Structure formats: structure tokens, C-alpha cells
Amino acid sequence: MGKDKSFYFLEMNTRLQVEHPVTECITGLDLVEQMIRVAAGEKLAFTQSQIQRKGWAMECRINAEDPLRNFLPSTGRLVKYQPPAPQNGVRVDTGVYEGGEIPMYYDSMIAKLITHGANREEAMSKMRSALNEFVIRGIHSNVQFQSALLQHPRFISGNFNTGFIAEEFPKGFQADSVIPADANRLPALATFVHRRYLERAKLLEGQLLGHEMKLTQEFVVMAGADSYSTKIEHKDQGYQISVKANQGKRSIKEYLLESDWVPGSIRLPYQLQGGSALCAQIERPSLGYQIIQDGVGFSCIVLSPFGAEMQTRMPYKAPPDTSKLLLSPMPGLLSKLHVAKGDKVSAGQKLAVIEAMKMENTLSALQDGVVEEICVSEGSSLAVDQIIMQFAK
């Protein structure tokens, strides 16, 4: 549709479209039911003039793909699958289940998330909340990317077109592509989560007399080059948390947080004083925490002030050098090898083709070199980051 509201037909598909729930939400009609009735020979029981549009609806396609790897397909087992509850203008259309397998043979869409509100702002608000509650683990999904889009000022304003993603994310979607609206809230959540883990540990029996675990109030949240000094204490039915960034203006932000979260739960429902119900997702890989909310990923460790000082003295461990390896960027089927052992290759030359989810993905050389070893054969099923070939050093 043009800016002057003129319509132009790009294609005509005589089938039900993926976006049919949007129409159903604003009209109250079940399009699938109507198609079945028409196929059975019935006539429509209403006319065009009787169809009323109510409110605003929008839909997010939830796909099994990795936004941080240029949206390459992701396959595997759904270790966790907890869609938001279908209520209050939130609808989930899906056919997958927790414990099920997402294979490489079909389209990457695994669910449709639809919200309906009185206007666009209400529909977007419900969508943000629903995306924050949508738990998918075991495979990568585009939920975090969808959340990032819903936070973007240009999307919120409605001033965008089909080139929006290419224009706003020219280098692709990165972990730091989204700037949090409140940079101190995530360290506050990390402090709360860490304190709850410590409270649970304090309940363990058999602690040595005179050396029982003591709960402290002051912590340091370390997230890469950033760190935050925090203090947490019980107040009323929740926790009073203060956060001070150890860089920049160093202003102190106070939060009164209430939550019934228990350690081990991925969903972290909470409420700030005077605010509405919110939800984040929390995991505990290794010794740190990974918090995701509104498209922002926050990885950190929470230490005592003394532990944080010692952490700054730890030696830097460089990541392994993979410049001489061709790694599979996705799970899939190695359908074609374009080179063999001993071949000289040039930058940009095709090396291999991987098939996944009805797409062919061509891997090319990033630099000149000589193939030293082919580690897999054509027809092999590949895992993410599996070595396909090695180049001479």
C-alpha cells in the first residue's frame, strides 16, 4: 500500500495466508471455519458490509533461526518450550511441544504469536510482554530479535518500510544492537537473583557451627567492561535495591522490587513500585547469569566487593584461533563440496553447500589458502561449529 493509501497487487495466492489470525482478531471471524463451510457447499452467512473491524492486531512469526548468525536455521530438540498463556488478547498458534524435535527438512516457523488491542499501542504493549514470556531453549529462535524490533523508536513511530531491517541493522543483528531503556535495571535483577540463590544456600543443613553462611547486602555486578555496585535489603514485601554504575556519571538508581521467583525458573516475573507486571528471562550458565528482557541480553557475574577486586586481576584467556578452519555455521546437510584436499583456494571461492530448512547456504573462503584436510564427506549431517575442513598454516 502506498503512502496515498493506494493498493497494488504483488501476488495472488488462493490459500489461507499465515497472517490470517490478524484478520480473525479484528473481525471476530474464524476464517478456517468459513473456508470449510464454503468447501462443504454452504454460502456465506454475512455480507461485506456486515464485517466490522475492531481494534488493532499484529503477529510475530516465531522461527527456529539464529539472529546472531544472520538468521541461519537452527535445528535440534526443544528442551524448553513455554509459550505465553493465550489470554487477554494474546493468541499462540503452534504445532510443536517441549521435548519435540525441530528437523532440518521443513520451514523454520514453529509458532505464530498474535496480540489484539484497542489500538496499535496496546497491541504492541501486549506483544512486548508476550515475547518476554516466550521461553524457547535447546534451539535458537528469533524471539529476542522480535523483542528488539518492538523497542525500536522507528518501529514504535510507525515510520518504516520493507527496508527497515537492512537500514537499521546494516551489519546484522548483534548482541549489543539494542540499548536498554534503563541500563541499571538489569544489574538490579541480577542482584536480586543472586541474593535469592544465596538465601536458598543458607538453608542447607549440616553447616559447620560458628561458620554458617552469612548473607551480605553489597555486591558488584560485572558485565564485560562495565561494572555496577549494588546493595540489596528486605523492605516490606520485596527488596530495596540500589545500583550505581562504576563508570560514567555514577548516579544511584533505587528500585523496590517484588517477585515470587524461585531459583531454577527461567521466567522471572516481577513488579517495580508503582509499575505494572513485568517479566524477564534468567539462566545461570557456569558461575554467571544471563538475563534477557525487551531484546536486551545481559551477561554478568555477581561477586562480593573483594571478589570483584580479585576478578580484575585474573589473566585474560584469549579465544581459540579458528582462522584456519571452516566451521559449519548451522546444523544441516552437507550437500556439496566444491574443493578437495590439496586444492588452492582464493578469497570468495565457493567451498561447500549446506542444506537446511528448504534453503541452500553456500560457504565461501574468507582468504587465500590451501586445503589441508577435509573432515567430513558429502551427505553428512553437520552440527553447529562442526569442522568441515582445515587449511594449511
Three-class HEC string of the chain = CCCCCCCCCCCCCCCCCCCHHHHHHHHCCCHHHHHHHHHCCCCCCCCHHHCCCCCEEEEEEEECEEHHHCCEECCEECCEEECCCCCCCEEEEECCCCCCEECCCCCCEEEEEEEEECCHHHHHHHHHHHHHHCEEECCCCCHHHHHHHHHCHHHHHCCCCCCHHHHHCCCCCCCCCCCCCCCCHHHHHHHHHHHHHHHHHHCCCCCCCCCCCCCCCEEEEEECCEEEEEEEEEECCEEEEEEEECCCCCCEEEEEEECCCCCCCCEEEEEECCCCEEEEEEECCCCCEEEEECCEEEEEEEECHHHHHHHCCCCCCCCCCCCCEEECCCCEEEEEECCCCCCEECCCCEEEEEEECCEEEEEECCCCEEEEEECCCCCCEECCCCEEEEECC
Contact 21, 115 (CB under 8 A): no
Rg of the chain over all Cα atoms, to the nearest angstrom: 25
Query: Side-chain half-sphere of 209: how many Cα atoms within 13 Å?
Result: 0
Q: Which residue's C-alpha cell is 503477529?
A: 59
Indicate if 122 belongs to the active site. Answer: no
In angstroms, rounded to a whole number, what is the distance separating the alpha carbons of residues 153 and 160? 10
Question: Torsions phi, psi of 250, nearest 5?
Answer: 60, 35
Assigned C-alpha cell, 40: 462443504
Give the residue numbers annotated as catalytic, written as ranges.
11
